[in-house]
Amino acid sequence: MRATTALVTPTLALVLVAGAAAPARADQCGKPDLVDMVPPDGATGVPLNATLGAHYTAAAEYLGEDVVLERLPSGAQTVLPATWDPTEQLLSVTPPAPLDAGAQVVIHWPALRGLNAAAPGVGGDAKFTVGSTADVASPTFAGVVGLSWDLERVTDDCLDDLVERFVFDIRLGAASDDGGTSGLTLMLFQTMGPQVMMMPTPIPARAWPQTSDSPVRAQVRLAKDAAVGEICFAGIVRDTAGHLSASNNAEACVQTTAPPFFNGCSVAASDARASAIPAALALLALLGRRRRAT
């Protein structure tokens, strides 16, 4: 069964939000593999001042493995100091000097160890071409523009048993940046649900989907205890220079029911609650940046 709802679009006032939400719980039993890279392999026009990043699964643990920047065609390599953000499952590096305009570069992301396994996972390489300018402007993002849901039953490798998860298909509005969409990171937040308290709950950040599909889509999987009832999502994007898209009130909601279920009902967020969303998302993103800087 599926339920869908339209975008919530009234103009909302910013409010002061204090505190921070706990990160979304993730399955930490599995392979500690690389998920995606920012910028991705094959990217062009990468800003001169770009911070490079790679997302890993929740099972990964960073223990100081080398991140290597290789310059082509010389093959000269530099090991860069890396920062690990467990909230975003993000390993990031900032070259000590701006990248050379027009240069071809390969970033070698390491295979990381697992929290519950000694064997390393899978790393990855991204070859990209540097552009001619720095990223100086904040990205724009129309936000989450639609949402549908379904239920999946899969075998959980950790439990060796069949489990049920809710799968949310999230439709994303248009995004743009002076550094290109290949440098954007999508930061989604669950803004309503049985485990969402005073602040939106962050979903592990991921690279902006590099697809020709319109609208662009992302998927979020949640356990039943976090996904039954009125479920809402909102989001922002961040570019490789750390700029955030302007907060907006774009939020999409659905009404889910636990199996066995009947048709759900679409719902819209109330103005009183939704007015806190723009400030909350910006605050959470800024707190994340502050944690990575320390």
Q: Is the pLDDT reported for residue 1 higher than 50?
A: no
Please state the φ and ψ torsions of residue 167, each to the nearest 5 degrees.
-110, 120
The confidence score (pLDDT) of residue 198 equals 84
Highest mean pLDDT among 126-135, 156-165, 239-248: 126-135
Q: Please state which of the ranges 70-74, 125-129, 150-154 shows the lowest mean pLDDT.
A: 150-154
164-217 per-position pLDDT tens digit: 899 999 999 999 999 999 999 999 999 999 999 888 999 999 999 988 878 899
| Domains of the chain, start order | 34-129 (2.60.40.3780), 140-293 (2.60.40)
Q: Is the pLDDT reported for residue 247 higher than 80?
A: no
Q: Does residue 19 or residue 77 have the better pLDDT?
A: 77
Assign 286 a pLDDT band (cuts: 50, 70, 90).
low
Highest mean pLDDT among 11-20, 147-156, 249-258: 249-258
